[in-house]
Amino acid sequence: MQFGPLTRLTDDEQMFVKEVDKFAATVVKPKVHEMDESEIMDKSVINGLFEMGLMGIEVPEEYGGAGGSFFMSILAIEALSKVDPSVGVLCDVQNTLVNNIFKRWANAEQKKKYFPRLSSKEIGSYCLTEANSGSDAFAMKARAYDEGSHWRLEGKKIFITNAKEANIFVVFANINPELGYKGITAFICERGMPGFSVGKKEVKLGIRASSTCEVILDNVKVPKENVIGEVGKGYKVSIETLNEGRIGIAAQMLGLAQGAHAGAMEYARQRVQFGKELREYQGIQFDLAELATNIEAAKLMVYNAARLKDAGQNFIKEAAMAKLFAGNVAEEVASRSLEVYGGYGFIKEFPAEKFYRDAKIGKLYEGTSNMQKATIFKLIDGQMK
């Protein structure tokens, strides 16, 4: 499949981005400071995401979804993150992780039961990480016991995004630790199941409106039909989903960088020092020009990975590179954009300090930067053999 210039959008894609930009400016932006301070995602923002169809972008129309492409999900995450990366990651986890799992691995009955809910009103959550199972995801201790008529889940997950707001959870547990990663299985759990609870909500440096919580599994009785994918194939479900999720986080970081840079550009036009606008000083010009170049390079990498995925081509290396590079760019752009504001960049009156705090997470979740480097090296080394 030939794409032409990678950042050129079709008319439909441009219209889609314009609508998401409008939503972000009119619904999200007025709530950003309040949500960050309260560490709560505003219900009007959540309702708006569903009303816009942004929580079921790839879900087939027959189930109430938008029937869009993975690339459209990436465009939505990017656009939302220009205004608030917390909202961007809410949309990201719903689309690139949860909906993606149901689209690729759920059976017909599971799709019929859950897709209409995920598309219209209910948030999903992806439960993989544990206290001693982060980068080494398959060292998980959560257990699933076959009780004959049902499965019984026991354990605890941490750092689970969207957990506070979610009703539908994809939970990974091991049916037999002696099998290693081949015992890992994915289960569909719902809020309200006896023994299932959402625990402590973490207080975070950035993306504070995005909930990050413990999920506690205290002898949760899960119906046999709630296994998603095959028993013992949860490792495949998790890895292949995270490969796509990395592009979503890269898009979040890309949007963040654009938002931070746009704010610095606007401030440089407004601020006057020594009788000149900041934008007239060569030092400011050169900084903002260099950052714009890095953002464009990140956009090329993110869009390339997303288009490869939609084309059915191998994208694992490109996804890891996009996340690694976009994470680096976001942190640098957020930091240097803040400096354009001088002392004002250090206070909450301007968005620079929030973008700066939000940027750090891009190097940490859905695979740290070092894990991306390990993946990239493994793949390029394999190409040399």
Distance of CA 24 to the CA centre of its chain: 17
DSSP labels for 58-112? SS-GGGTS----HHHHHHHHHHHHTT-HHHHHHHHIIIIIIIHHHHHH--HHHHH
Q: Which two tokens stand for residue 210?
A: 């995005």
Q: How far apart are CA 31 and CA 42, in angstroms?
A: 7
Place of tokens 């949500």: 35
- Residue 230 annotated in active site: no
Q: How far apart are CA 22 and CA 72, in angstroms?
A: 16
The dihedrals phi and psi of 382, each to the nearest 5 degrees, come to -65, -30
Q: Classify residue 323 as exposed, middle or buried by CB count within 10 Å of its CB (0-12, 13-18, 19+).
A: buried
Contact present, 154 and 143 (Cβ < 8 Å)? yes
Distances (CA, A) of 335 to 154, 287, 341, 344, 355: 42, 11, 11, 13, 9
Q: How far apart are CA 341 and CA 95, in angstroms?
A: 35
Encoded amino acid at 362, one letter: G
Question: 151 pairs with which residues across the strands?
Answer: 146, 222
Contact present, 168 and 123 (Cβ < 8 Å)? yes
Q: How far apart are CA 280 and CA 332, in angstroms?
A: 22
Which residue is catalytic, options 78, 214, 244, 366?
366
SS3 call for 39 = coil
DSSP labels for 237-275? HHHHHHHHHHHHHHHHHHHHHHHHHHHHHHHHHH-EETT
Distances (CA, A) of 314 to 8, 233, 244, 320, 327: 21, 21, 11, 12, 22
Just list the catalytic residues.
Answer: 366
